[in-house]
Amino acid sequence: MSSKPSVLIITNMGPKPAAPFQGQFVRQQVEALALLKPGYHFMRWHTDSKLNQLVKYPVFFLDFIWRYIFSRHKYTVLHVHFFYPTIWLALLYRALRNPAANIIVTCHGSDIYQYQPPGFFYRWCAGKVQHWVFTSDALAARFNLPIKNSTVLSAGIAECFAVQPRRDFTNKIIDVLYVGSLDFNKGIDRLIGLLPTLTSKKVVIAGAGPYLARLQQAVAPYSNVSVVGPQTSSELANLYQQARCFISLSRNESFGLVMAEAMACYTPVVATVTDGSIAQLREGENGYLVPQQDAGEALNEQQIIAGLQHALQKMWLLPAADYQQMQYTARAWAEQCLVSDVAKRLIVLYQEV
């Protein structure tokens, strides 16, 4: 096999007005794999209109056929980001262009969470995959279909997060930082519920999504809260560096790259217990975990918000030496998530497949 396999990366994610950086981590992987000169197919036509919601997948498929089925270049490895329904493009390519092509799938979370129990076509497609990549051990455990080969590997964070100098607690000007989509799954309603307990703290919220208008209305009475919208990687690195604590309030999270980004900038994390947070956080070492269940029973929202408030208070009351140690532990863990390291492991995987 050639030392440089011909790789086509396929994802159903792409930027749109409400989420201009959606799928950015996949693009970062593509850029880190520049040595291989991979092909890259993503959802180019992606807007917030109802028309787009109805026909974006047919357009996505037709665009793929035009760009890659009719292309003279032949790919030997097809790497699918977000299993279903994106897998159908890889299967189409293998059927019409290269039956010998091997398929690798990276699962991101909702491509597993939202398909339980898996239907017939989901299971049939899964049987055509040569290698699976999961973003956390917990996510891999949730995939209850038989598989032969798998790897647990972070999606990767940009190098700019690794060059930020550490700031002491007293030199940080943001008490609580949230970065991510503004939607129900990410717990924006929980963040809104926390606001009355944070009136003496500086809170910054970066992102966009369907809860934006609701969030803007909720923060209007609070002069201590800033909603800054989507940010570039370098802008986010600056925010992470200034934050005393990063908060994740997700209901479900397969990994949560923003937590790794924050920790790479020496910022500890408070997070609800999800597959992603338990993969990254060690209680009291690089952050604090807030349960969403007790003895298998779901906690109510008031209990979860109270747990988040308590964890934030613990973070802010840490002695300077303990906080500094938490910063170093957070940074040490996050270094393994840099996209350059992820790309090296992917190249080895492509060669092995």
Which pair of tokens denotes residue 152? 């647990």
Asked if pLDDT for residue 131 goes beyond 90, the answer is: yes
Spatial CB neighbours of 30, under 8 Å, sequence gap ≥ 6:
9, 38, 40
- For tokens 């809260």, name the residue: 225
Percent of the chain that is helix, strand, coil (3-state, to 5): 45, 15, 40
Give tens-digit pLDDT for 322-334. 999 999 999 999 9
Give tens-digit pLDDT for 194-250. 999 999 999 999 999 999 999 999 999 999 999 999 998 999 999 999 999 999 999
Give tens-digit pLDDT for 263-313. 999 999 999 999 999 999 999 999 999 999 998 899 999 999 999 999 999
- In angstroms, the CA 339 to CA 275 distance is 20
Which pLDDT belongs to residue 47?
A: 85
Give tens-digit pLDDT for 150-203. 999 988 898 899 898 999 999 999 999 999 999 999 999 999 999 999 999 999
Cα torsion through 231, 234, 237, 241, rounded to 10: -110
Do the bridges between strand 297-298 and strand 293-294 make them parallel or antiparallel, or are there none, so unpaired?
A: antiparallel
Give tens-digit pLDDT for 34-88. 999 999 999 998 888 888 889 999 999 999 999 999 999 999 999 999 999 999 9
Which pLDDT belongs to residue 92?
A: 97
Which pLDDT belongs to residue 3?
A: 62
Which pLDDT belongs to residue 156?
A: 87
> What structural domains and CATH numbers belong to the chain?
7-156+338-352 (3.40.50.2000), 159-336 (3.40.50.2000)
For residues 211 and 188, the answer to whether their CB atoms sit within 8 Å is yes
